[in-house]
Amino acid sequence: MEKELFKKYYSQLISGGIIILITMIIICYIVINTKNVLNYIVILIYAGILIYTLIKMLPIFRDFDMVRKRKYIQITGEVIKTRIKIESYEPYAAANYVTIVDNITSQEIELQMMNEKIEFFQIDTGDKKTYTFLYLPHTKYAVVFEQTT
Q: What is the pLDDT of residue 55?
A: 92
Question: Does residue 30 sit in the same domain as residue 48?
Answer: yes
Let me know whether 136 and 83 are in one domain.
yes
Of 2, 54, 4, 3, which Cα lies nearest the Cα of 24? 54
Write down the mean pLDDT value for the chain. 80
**Amino acid 146: pLDDT:** 72
* 3-class secondary structure, 129: coil
Listed range (61-75, 80-94, 102-116) with the worst mean pLDDT: 80-94
User: Do 123 and 109 fall into the same domain?
Assistant: yes
User: The domain spanning residue 112 has which CATH number?
Assistant: 2.40.50
Task: Characterise 61 by phi-psi region: left (phi > 0), alpha (psi -120 to 50), beta (else).
Answer: alpha
Maximum mean pLDDT: which of 1-15, 43-57, 71-85, 120-134: 43-57
6 in the same domain as 43? yes
Q: Whole-prediction pTM value? A: 0.71
**Domain co-membership, 63 together with 123:** no
Question: pLDDT at residue 23 above 60?
Answer: yes
Half-sphere exposure of 148 toward its Cβ, with a 13 Å CA cutoff? 10
Shared-domain flag, residues 50 and 75: no
Tell whether 135 and 122 lie within a shared domain: yes
Is the pLDDT at 147 greater than 50? The verdict is yes
Q: Are 44 and 100 in contact (CB under 8 A)?
A: no
Residue 27 structural domain: 2-68
% residues pLDDT > 90 (the chain): 7
Angle at 55 between CA 51 and CA 61, to 5 degrees: 125
pLDDT at 117: 47
Name the domain count of the chain: 2
Last residue of a domain, one of 39, 68, 97: 68
* Per-residue pLDDT at 92 exceeds 70: no
Same domain, 19 and 63: yes
pLDDT interval class at 4 (50, 70, 90): confident
129 and 75, same structural domain? Answer: yes
pLDDT at 124 over 60: no
